[in-house]
Structure 1
């Protein structure tokens, strides 16, 4: 695993743009990372001296596995695969937070006794994909309310159907399934706002990429920082870029509806490390990482701050 001293050594002065660097990118996120979509759409990566070869993945976990397996230079994902990777001692570095989602929900049926409060989940059947960040979210909300519920494991795409059939009383699903739940359940749907967790979307680099091509890592982040400015200044253009990059995965209406629920800015901060430590502790408690301890130092060690610090030091607050 990387050590902080190694990451600090990666900082090198910016050099004039030279030949484009080919960078293998594991994508799949668009609405969750608008600055990435903008950078692709507007050619900001190429302007920064990067030639991105993008492979889309159904999940961030699969993108992360390709990253640590040497098939990618950088990957986009939530924080959860990075936490698992840190506990396993895998070699990678988190380069930046891209966004945070602020409107997580637990959804249930009113006819099953679910209201807009977490307390209404007590003793109920709640569907969730076990071992994911949504499971972490659900466990945290139940613990904070001092209640228990019957956990029913289901795949992400199966959660809404299980709720519609009445196999469960409520579900904790990924945000991409919220719109489907609203359409399928209609007026009987009760939505419980989540207070204790914000899914955090990251870009991470492989050990070899960060160690051997620090300038290319800076160029990737420079393009994303420029994408931040477009997202902040021209909402319509940014939404259009997300729609074109996302394709059928996100409708224009869904993009507009959920736009304000994301805090979009390319940064590195202590909140990320704290969240990763808490998730790691939860995984260790569940027996997912035997013999390991989740500490702030462990999670801090997989944050590769040097490239972003070289691009804009004000964006790093660890």
Structure 2
């Protein structure tokens, strides 16, 4: 049987050459397409309590490049409390801040527009009271008549009041003294107060400041701490695209903190050896996640009743805390994470 004629071979070769040329043109067109324009980089000033474990999603979003991936150049500003972080936001020194629920309540009662874009952390065994055994503080009931240091206007004060109420102690049966969170350990060591209320890592610092003389009472049955990211209402609502980008970065950061505990704890490089050990032991009880839960609104209302009763705000009526929660961002990014009834 004879092979293809020279004419046929020429046709096949021409066809093969044409296909090769067309394939080359197609590949050239594919790879010669201009790259998509880069995501514009936006600078964001974020006030954060960098030593508090609840800030882990923010620190991870920064350290692991999740903010950068979303086109955000995050500048972290360190503060010793959520109250101080929120004050920075309200004074225009930061765009967003990490804060517990109490400062948001107090801002609302002062008619300051603050909105939470998400809760990022929850822990029960996180607040407590450290007392000096040599001053007669050995049981919760023995706090009666004692001087107690606390950072007023924070979750530490709310947890302390709830704890005293559980012991059937009236506010007038103790003497409160106001200190910044990082000053409580020294005040306790100097004997200026008989006990001090606060949260980690300051509780650990207090116990070490009076080593061998410390009694510690945790408030897990009276207060479950929520840690949030919040901003001024006008700023948040005027930057919806930015909020979505921030939330996507925080979701990745929270996942990192939950799934990579060893690497996440390394973000707190300044922690003392004792605090690092405590953090490792307690890590399994921490809940990292980016949510807006109905429980947040219930907590804000409960805390507002407490604040109104203690005349801590300018108004005596209950605010509508739906105005203090920004739902649009998280509903766009992770709608299943929003359970607020609205």
TM-score by length of 2: 0.78
Query: Residue 24 of structure 1: which of 45, 54, 62 is its match?
Result: 45
Cross-structure match for 1:164: 189
1:217 and 2:246 correspond: no
1:266 and 2:290 correspond: yes
1:33-48 matches, within 5 Å, as 33-48=55-70
Structure 1 residues 206 and 132, CA gap change in structure 2 (3 angstroms): closer
SS at the partner of 2:332?
helix
Query: Residue 135 of structure 2: which of 112, 119, 126 is its match?
Result: 112
1:82 and 2:107 correspond: no
**Offset, 1:59:** 3.4
Contact 2:201–2:275 (CA under 8 A) maintained in structure 1: no
Structure 1 residues 63 and 269, CA gap change in structure 2 (3 angstroms): same
1:44-97 Cα shifts (integer Å, max 9, x gaps): 111122222333334333332332344432111222221111112222310011
Cross-structure match for 1:232: 258
Contact 2:185–2:206 (CA under 8 A) maintained in structure 1: yes
SS at the partner of 2:268?
helix
**Offset, 1:211:** 2.1
Cross-structure match for 1:8: none
Q: What residue ranges of structure 2 are gaps of 5+ in the alignment?
A: 1-36
1:162-181 Cα shifts (integer Å, max 9, x gaps): 43344433221342322222
**Offset, 1:112:** 3.0
Contact 2:49–2:55 (CA under 8 A) maintained in structure 1: no
Q: Of the two structures, which has the highest relative contact order with CA contacts closer than 8 Å and spacing of 6 or more?
A: 1
Structure 1 residues 300 and 169, CA gap change in structure 2 (3 angstroms): same
Structure 1 residues 23 and 105, CA gap change in structure 2 (3 angstroms): same
Cross-structure match for 1:188: 213
Structure 1 residues 124 and 54, CA gap change in structure 2 (3 angstroms): closer
Query: Residue 203 of structure 1: which of 229, 232, 238 is its match?
Result: 229
Alignment coverage as a number of residue pairs: 295
SS at the partner of 2:212?
helix
Cross-structure match for 2:124: 102
In 2: Cα distance, 1:70 partner to 1:55 partner: 13
Task: State the structure with more CA Rg.
Answer: 2
In 2: Cα distance, 1:233 partner to 1:125 partner: 42
Contact 2:244–2:333 (CA under 8 A) maintained in structure 1: yes
In 2: Cα distance, 1:267 partner to 1:45 partner: 18
1:286-297 matches, within 5 Å, as 286-295=310-319
Query: Residue 140 of structure 1: which of 155, 162, 180 is its match?
Result: 162
Q: Which runs of 4+ in 1 moved over 6 A?
A: none
SS at the partner of 2:266?
helix
1:194-250 Cα shifts (integer Å, max 9, x gaps): 12113321101333332222111011010110112211221111111232xxxx4x3
SS at the partner of 1:241?
coil
**Offset, 1:98:** 1.3
1:254 and 2:275 correspond: yes
Structure 1 residues 147 and 61, CA gap change in structure 2 (3 angstroms): closer
Structure 1 residues 68 and 169, CA gap change in structure 2 (3 angstroms): closer
Bigger mean CA deviation after superposition, 88-97 or 104-113: 104-113
Contact 1:224–1:266 (CA under 8 A) maintained in structure 2: yes
In 2: Cα distance, 1:210 partner to 1:45 partner: 17
1:316 and 2:338 correspond: yes
Please tell me the root mean square deviation across aligned C-alpha atoms, in Å.
Answer: 2.4
Structure 1 residues 147 and 57, CA gap change in structure 2 (3 angstroms): closer
